[in-house]
A and B are shown apart, each in its own frame.
Chain A
Amino acid sequence: GAVVSQHPSRVICKSGTSVKIECRSLDFQATTMFWYRQFPKQSLMLMATSNEGSKATYEQGVEKDKFLINHASLTLSTLTVTSAHPEDSSFYICSASSPAATNEKLFFGSGTQLSVL
């Protein structure tokens, strides 16, 4: 099946710094990738849809200047949390759909646990 790799798996940073999270599709090309955020015992909340070669589409309430998304190639999307604050601490997960799987199901990365001190 399709494999999505996410890095890093865990990051601890100081308040005010920026953190970059990478999401790669390893064995397929993903024109669209999705970034989710998940708080403990809560559902996955879609933050934005990342489209290769164009601007990301952000969900309502998500600050595009704070969560910068770049999808420069068909296999890589990055999420940068700029000027991170403790309230940004969360589990961030990327996913992609594969054309070979009719784009209906999602293949998820392993997630990144962000802790902002």
Chain B
Amino acid sequence: SQKIEQNSEALNIQEGKTATLTCNYTNYSPAYLQWYRQDPGRGPVFLLLIRENEKEKRKERLKVTFDTTLKQSLFHITASQPADSATYLCALSYSGGGADGLTFGKGTHLIIQP
């Protein structure tokens, strides 16, 4: 069965630095991969989507890469701020036909220290 691995331990980054989060998966590559942000006691919020034929996607201070050879996606936040502190979830879709095929990782808790 497919497995999604995200760093389970909290990631502490100094304000202003770039935070890099990792999402690894096993077996075959997904049709597309998404990143969500989740704050405590709240539902996740969509951030970025990258397709299997794309290598990189950017949105403001966020950047996502997708390496199907390494079976890995990296999520970067540049010029990090304390407000970026949250849990970041990666989600994979294998069906390619809609959100009903999404499988979520456990998430990585990011802490940006002032």
Q: Residues on A close to B: CB < 8 A?
A: 4, 6, 9, 32, 34, 41-44, 46, 49, 91, 93, 95, 97, 103-111, 113
Contacts and interface: CB of A to CB of B under 8 A. Distances in A.
A43 B105 contact: yes
A11 to B, nearest CB: 13
A111 B99 contact: no
Category for how many chain B residues contact A: 20 to 34
A97 B44 contact: no
Contact of A109 (B32, B41, B43, B46): B43
A93 B98 CA distance: 18
A111 B42 contact: yes
Interface of B: 4, 8, 32, 34, 36, 41-46, 49, 89, 93, 97-100, 102-107
A41 to B, nearest CB: 7
Contacts of B41: 9, 91, 111, 113
A61 B45 CA distance: 27
Contacts of A93: 43-44
A20 B45 CA distance: 24
A85 to B, nearest CB: 22
A34 B43 CA distance: 13
Nearest to A95: B43
